[in-house]
Amino acid sequence: MLKYIVKRLISMVPVIIGVTFVVFAIMHFTPGDPATLLLGEEAPPAEVERMRERMGLNDPFLVQYGNFLFGLFRLDLGFSLTTGRPVFNEIANRLPATIQLAAAAILVAIFIGVIMGIIASTRQYTVFDGGAMFVALLGVSMPNFWLGLMMILVFSVFWNNTFGYVLFPSSGFGTLRHLVMPAIVLGTAHAAFITRITRSSMLEVLRQDYIRTARSKGLNERVVVYLHALRNALMPVVTMAGLRFGVLLGGSVVTEQIFAIPGMGRLLVESVRSQNYTLVQGIILTYAIIFSLVNLAVDLLYAAIDPRIQVQYK
Amino acid sequence: MSEKLLEIKDLHVHYETDEGTARAVNGINLELKPGECLGLVGETGAGKTTTALGILRLVPDPPGRITGGEILFRGENLLNKKEREMRRIRGNKISMIFQDPMTSLNPVFSVGRQIAENVSLHQNVSIKKGMSRAREMLELVEIPGSRVHDYPHEFSGGMRQRVLIAMALACNPALLIADEPTTALDVTIQAQVMEIIKGLMKQINTSLIMITHDLGVVAEVSERVAVMYAGQLVEIGPLRDIFTDHKHPYTIGLFGSIPDIDDRESTRLTPTKGLMPDAMELPEGCPFHPRCPEAMEKCSRETPQSVEIKPGHFVSCFLFS
Amino acid sequence: MATEATTVKKAAVARKQRTRFQETWRRLRKNRWALAGLTMIVLLGLVAIFADFIAPYGYNEQNYFRILEGPSRDNFLGTDNLGRDVFSRIVHGSRLSLSIGFITTSIGLTVGGFLGAVAAFYGGRVDNLIMRFMDIILAIPGFIFAIALVSALGPSLTNLMIAVGINTIPYFARIIRSSVMSTKENEFIEAARVIGSSDLWIIFKHLIPNSLAPILVQATLRIGDTIIIASGLSFLGLGAQPPLPEWGALLSAGRGYLRVAWWMATFPGVAIMVTVLAFNLLGDGLRDALDPRLKN
Amino acid sequence: MADKLLEIKDLKKYFPTKQGMLHAVDGVNFHINRGETLGLVGESGCGKSTTGRLLLRLLEATGGEIIYNGENIQKFNRKKMKEFCTQAQMVFQDPFSSLDPRMSVGEIISEPLRVNRTHSNGKARKKKILEMMEFAGIASRLINAYPHELDGGRRQRVGIARALVLNPDFLVLDEPVSALDVSIQAQILNLFDDLQEEFDLTYLFIAHDLSVVKHVSDRIAVMYMGQIVEYAGFDQVIYEPQHPYTQALVSAIPRINLDEKRERIILEGDVPSPVNPEPYCRFYGRCRERQNFCKEQEVFLEEVEPGRFVSCLLRQ
């Protein structure tokens, strides 16, 4: 197993290096001069030119990229163009909130999604199935920023007007109560997605020959579904949920914005608005690394569920 | 005390789809004595598998439904049993093995676990105790007992089929239904599996229904043979009668289709012309009449009854009534 | 002679002869949800085309006497902070959202489709090169990649479409690649080779027609996704700029007035949801209709 | 003396896999005389289908020669290859995946004509299609039907009509009846028989079922793990098999003749994987008669009596 983990980690390296290149290239060819940005519009041209020299902005593209990559190995992502603080520190400050939010959302999503998916698949064509599938369809069709606003409207604004107190705070971060609405907002689309995948995967598995074998043994339906079918059905669910985690990360940017959560996503939007390229670059890289690590975890989980993969790496 | 282990009376199974109703099994009558091996022969779509699933009440519902008849197992009608009682029979008194060994085992459990599950379920022992029985059963089908903890993907097709046989026989069932157990296997592997089935049948007192389209396989294990066509039994009788003195025009065509390797004069095959009718559009009267070289006017109106032409040899054809 | 010909013809008609297209259409028609989706899309399309006739006001028509008024007979979805009619803005916005959906998906489909088909057909090193590059892009969460592109290109409607379109490329490249690969596995491709067909013949006569179905399904589903992504970017102020009535931008504007004018944020969101829902319904229905095996 | 239509010499096809080189076809030699049928028999994975595909250059051989009508087809350029296509055709195993689901029966059968631009006139083409359909036993009303509307037997007939429409001399039949029910199988086997007579065809009949092959073949080659182990007239192979594998294969066939009792040879184990095989008899591990010296040298197909070739040190 260890060998497998190491192998997967190594295979991540070229992708991440590729990501650094793509991100660096996009940022490099962006209009606007970081030196001017750092010094302000009124700075004398000579000063700006000296700054450009110091920041290495006059070097050829590949040399700049080389320097960037070299810095990366020492966890040096450069300096924020607005505050002058190291990008690494800025991100490290904001990372915990984002991770907490994403983790809470995914837990909510898996819990709700798997249960709804199982119910829908085992009661195919009933009201439960139809209902669950329609709710799931609404869930994937709903923009989460709208859901966020609606929740604020209902649970903060209307609730406050009616009952005179705030049920869930609409902004800020720190307590569990603060996390409830953002986690639901971010988790809904994911839960809906997992519901759909779980259902179709369960239906597919329930059609398999080995399920018929299990039934022909005289096992009761609950054992057939939860023991024989579910474990097989979860494999595609785990993979797809992992791939889809990227969408959840993207959604966290908007969610953080709505609920004023001091996470990376808000920092990203601020940085984009202030054209703080070094910070944007660093944040996008961090997101890509988180995403890759999650997919690594998914692969490991997969290997834990499926003996066919375990054998390859014994 | 009934002498019959299994008695099927006028069984009907239909599949209701949005295209129409498929009449897969149309009034089958069949008997089986304890310890007897019956071969059930027919081509794709004849209703063999549906009959087998019907006995275990495993016809997928929807769309399938047993619409009529009785299945008496030791004198009790299985169709009247509650689902809970039925579960106590499946895998315990009546077991089944399926055609495709590659997909019939659950990939995420070890083979031992899958056999043990059966034992622990019906004999009320722990899975752990069941594992030792699993080991025994594996040895019985000539797989080293040390492989109980291996997973299905570590076995070849032939070995998986043997695992399935071991699983089916783990609780000493009174009846084993084998649905094309060797069709998916290569010839030499098929021979291995058949050898094991034959050996086991001699050792244990289990009745066998061998479902297959391969008359050669039937010849090896069966004492009696039933020929199925379009959801009905057209001919049934002792092995030798059916093989050397078949009467029904369909059976004649069926034997005419088989390349007989021992027949040194390379003659032309003499199959029945045409195709088996779709179960959704069965013809009136005898279902075989549109293809029958001997069809009479009567055949398109009435369905022939089964007639005993020799002791134990029944034919459903107006030529003999 | 003539009678014989007619009987043959009758027999042919009696056998339910349908092309795959008719077969699909027949199954689709039986699916009420898919039909509902299709109807909604057609309606939305009509609204977008005839927006000028349907909307009672222009999208930027301001009325300072009616600022932040709730739903009424004159403005039945209320007015915004500049006195503009919310309903009219949503109606006009349908043009933007639908074109964003179609244009971005078309960008992804053509570029991604080309890359995916090339990768699948030639395989080997070409395949490896293309797909590894796609992996790199896919390693960056899509929405965040789109933010990066927009921040480089500058916020505007056109750049928004380019960014979301590029974002969609790897997605289609993967789908089309796997679709072509599985079509290639069929023996009829070999059969075409045996009769001496050229590569081009095989690609155009066999591979493309047979790979189209899953692509069509994915494209339909993807349109909904791109509408959400694009409106999300506009919501963050990185897409369509005021006064354009893009739905995400409307929502963003409504956010500031949530406490005093709930209708400003509510209805644009409903519009997005209904549109995306329609594409999802149709996509699901198409999938079931094209491959009845998958329908459970 | 019969003239050789096709001859292959030391044909090899290796596929690289993660575990190593897969020797799918490993030094195969045989020839087919004009107008005869050679049965190529073996169990799944023995390389028989790969051999069939190599003959038509659907796959490029790793080594060896394929001589058709005196010419090495591997040296053919594009133009010659196209010409070769009109002479050598193939019928595939799977009647479901071998027909393009988006083409009607008429389109499928006419495709070879359109690709090779032989019948530019639409009317002539239609006439040719109907003629082929009649030969293959397909009712003319089905000309506009789509494959999914047909049963396996009819689909296979469409595949046969497609293969015949260019008037070829040579057909590779890749398990053409193994997906069909017995009575349909018999109908199709009879059809092959009739067509051979009608069009003077030469067949390479690939199958896993010896009894099927016996019915149509003049000579039979038995393959095991990418090599031919025995190669002789059909009666020699079936009634007096010499190679231990052929003997086991013949004895394993379930018999319908109740009085013809034979000793059944049960082989141990499964067919081993043909990845990086050891350089001695491939059958060694399962052979009942194996000797120590079998493991010490390579074994090649040798003529042990006139017209019979066996690849076994014990018989040579």
CATH number at residue C83: 1.10.3720.10
- pLDDT higher than threshold 50 for residue C14: no
Name subunits touching A (3+ CB pairs < 8 A): B, C
Q: Report residue C295: phi and psi, to 5°.
A: -75, 130
Query: Chain B partners of D44 at a C-beta cutoff of 8 Å?
Result: 186
H helices of chain D, where?
A: 48-55, 78-87, 105-116, 122-136, 152-164, 182-199, 210-216, 234-239, 244-252
- Asked if the C-beta of D211 comes within 8 angstroms of chain B's C-beta atoms, the answer is yes
* A219/B87 touch (CB, cutoff 8 Å), yes or no: yes
Q: Measured between CA atoms, how close is D71 to chain C, in angstroms?
A: 18
User: Degrees (nearest 5) of the Cα angle D229, D232, D234?
Assistant: 115
pLDDT higher than 80, residue D254:
yes
d(Cα D141, Cα C17) in Å, to the nearest integer? 11
- How close C180 gets to chain D, by Cα (Å)? 14
Instruction: Look at residue A311 in the predicted model and tell me its pLDDT.
Output: 60
**Nearest Cα residue to B190 out of B216, B155, B223:** B216
- Identify the pLDDT of residue C56: 86
- CA distance to partner chain D, nearest, from residue C193 (Å): 7
- The helix (run of H) or strand (run of E) holding residue A196 is helix A176-206
B83, B97, B106, B117: which to substitute to probe chain A, counting the most A Cβ within 10 Å? B106
CB pairs under 8 A between A and B: 72
C181 within some domain: yes
The CA distance from A186 to A259, in Å, is: 11
Gap between the Cα atoms of A99 and D245, Å rounded: 64
| d(C-alpha D280, C-alpha D271), whole Å | 15
D55: left (phi over 0), alpha (psi -120 to 50) or beta: alpha
Interface test with B, best of D177, D183, D217, D247 (most B CBs within 10 A): D183
- Phi and psi angles of residue B190, each rounded to the nearest 5 degrees, phi first: -55, -45
Q: What is the mean pLDDT of chain D?
A: 90
Question: Residue A266 — very low, low, confident or very high, per pLDDT cuts 50/70/90?
Answer: very high
A124 touches chain C (CB under 8 A): yes
By DSSP bridging, strand D202-207 and strand D170-174 are parallel
Residue C169: band (very low, low, confident or very high) from pLDDT cuts 50, 70, 90: very high
| B133 in Cβ contact with B142 (< 8 Å) | no
Query: Does any CB of chain C come closer than 8 Å to the CB of residue D94?
Result: yes
> Is the residue at C28 inside a domain?
no
Q: Which of C49, C89, C249, C175 is nearest to C41 (CA)?
A: C49
Instruction: Decide if B107 and A232 are in contact by the 8 Å CB cutoff.
Output: yes
Taking the Cβ of residue D184 and every Cβ of chain B, the question of whether any pair is shorter than 8 Å is answered with yes
What is the Cα–Cα distance from D4 to D21, expressed in whole angstroms? 32
pLDDT for res B178: 94
Using a CB-CB distance cutoff of 8 angstroms, which residues of chain A are in contact with residue B151? Answer: 307-308, 311
Q: Do C139 and A292 touch (CB under 8 A)?
A: yes
Mean pLDDT across C43-61? 89
Between CA C148 and CA D207 the distance in angstroms is 59
Q: C194 and D94 in contact by Cβ < 8 A?
A: no
Is any Cβ of chain D less than 8 angstroms from the Cβ of B1? no
Of D186, D212, D267, the CB nearest to B188: D267
Q: Is D101 close to C20, i.e. CB distance below 8 A? A: yes
Give the per-residue pLDDT at D47: 92
Q: What is the pLDDT of chain C when averaged over all its residues?
A: 85
The CA angle C255-C256-C261, to the nearest 5 degrees, is 80
Task: Please determine, for residue D124, whether its predicted confidence score (pLDDT) is greater than 80.
Answer: yes
pLDDT, tens digit, for every residue of D65-120? 999 999 999 999 988 888 898 899 999 998 888 999 888 999 999 999 998 887 77
Residue C186 counted as domain residue: yes
> In which region does residue A142 sit, left (phi positive, over 0), alpha (psi from -120 to 50) or beta (all else)?
beta
Measured between its terminal Cα atoms, the distance across chain B in Å is 33
> Is D254 in contact with B214 (Cβ distance < 8 A)?
yes
Contact B240 D258 (CB under 8 A): yes
* Interval A274-288: pLDDT, tens: 888 889 999 999 999
**Residue C296 predicted with pLDDT over 50:** no
Angle at B55 between CA B52 and CA B56, to 5 degrees: 95
Nearest CA in chain D to C184: D97
State the pLDDT at residue A286. 94
Nearest CB partner across the interface for B56, out of A216, A232, A305: A216
| Residue D125 and residue D113 in contact, taking contact as beta carbons nearer than 8 Å | yes
Q: CA-CA distance, D305 to B223, in Å (whole number)? A: 43
Residues of A in contact with B121 (CB under 8 A): 217-219
Distance CA A307, CA A122 (A): 25
Q: For residue C82, how many other CB atoms are within 10 A of its CB?
A: 16
The answer to whether residues D226 and D217 touch, using CB atoms and an 8 Å cutoff, is no
B197, B28 Cβ separation under 8 angstroms:
no
Structural domain contains residue C14: no
Answer yes or no: is C11 within a domain. no
3-state secondary structure of D230: strand
Nearest CA in chain B to A218: B87
Distance from CA of A179 to the nearest CA of C (A): 20
Q: Given an 8 Å threshold on Cβ–Cβ distance, is B151 in contact with A208?
A: no
Domains and CATH numbers, chain D: 4-97+170-183+194-310 (3.40.50.300)
Query: Tokens 């088989």 — which residue?
Result: B258
- Position C157 in a domain: yes
CB half-sphere exposure, B200, CA atoms < 13 A: 25
Question: Which tens digit of pLDDT belongs to each residue from A10-55?
Answer: 888 899 999 999 999 988 877 777 777 777 777 788 888 887 887 7
> Measured between alpha carbons, how far is D140 from B128 in angstroms, rounded to an integer?
65
C8 touching D (Cβ < 8 Å) = yes
Q: Which of D89, D104, D115, D172 to mutate against chain C (most C CBs within 10 Å)?
A: D115
Which chains, if any, share at least 3 CB pairs under 8 A with chain B? A, D
Count of structural domains within chain C = 1
Decide if D89 touches C, using CB distance below 8 A: yes
Query: CA-to-CA distance for D168 and D162, rounded, in angstroms?
Result: 11
Which residues have C-beta within 8 Å of that of residue B63, sequence separation ≥ 6? B15, B16, B17
Residue C60 contacts residue C291 (beta carbons within 8 Å): no
Q: Does D151 touch chain B (CB under 8 A)?
A: yes
Subunit contact A247:C143, Cβ cutoff 8 A: yes
- Tell me, yes or no, if D194 comes closer than 8 A to chain B by beta carbon: no
pLDDT at residue C294, rounded to an integer: 46
Mutation to test the D interface, candidates B48, B213, B261, most D Cβ within 10 Å: B261
Question: With contacts defined as CB-CB under 8 Å, which chain B residues touch A209?
Answer: 98, 100, 103-104
Express each pLDDT in C68-119 by its tens digit.
888 888 788 888 888 888 899 999 999 999 999 999 999 999 999 889 988 9
pLDDT at C19: 63
Nearest to D214 among B244, B261, B273 (CB): B261
Angstroms from C228 CA to nearest CA on chain A: 6
- The C-alpha atoms of residue A33 and residue A48 are separated, in whole angstroms, by 9
Model confidence pLDDT, tens digit, residues D264-297 = 888 888 888 888 888 899 999 899 888 998 988 8
**Best A26, A33, A144, A149 residue to mutate vs chain C (most C CBs within 10 Å):** A149
pLDDT of residue C241: 87
Nearest to C24, CA basis, from C225, C267, C288, C216: C288
For residue C217 the two structure tokens come to 């399904």
Q: How many other C-beta atoms can be found within 10 angstroms of the C-beta atom of residue C8? A: 13
The beta-carbon neighbor of B87 closest among A208, A220, A308 is A220
Residue C258: pLDDT over 80: yes
Percent of all residues in chain D with a pLDDT value above 70, rounded to a whole number: 99
**Average pLDDT score over chain A:** 87
Name every chain C residue with its beta carbon within 8 A of the beta carbon of A275: 151
Residue C27 is assigned to a structural domain of this protein: no
Whether B188 and D248 lie within 8 Å, measured CB to CB:
yes
D140–C8: do the CB atoms touch at under 8 Å?
yes
Binned average pLDDT, 10 residues per bin, chain B of 321 residues: 81 86 90 92 89 92 86 91 92 92 92 93 90 93 92 91 94 93 88 90 89 90 93 94 92 90 78 85 90 90 90 92 78
Distances (CA, A) of D55 to C106, D170, D203: 43, 11, 12
Tokens of B69: 């008849």
Q: What is the ipTM of this complex?
A: 0.84
d(CA B287, CA B272): 14
Domain housing C100: 40-290
Residue A41: CB atoms within 10 A of its CB come to: 7
CB contact under 8 A, C196 and D115: yes
Is A200 in contact with C151 (Cβ distance < 8 A)?
no
Asked whether residue A100 carries a pLDDT value surpassing 60, the answer given is yes
Please check whether residue C7 lies inside any domain of the structure. Answer: no
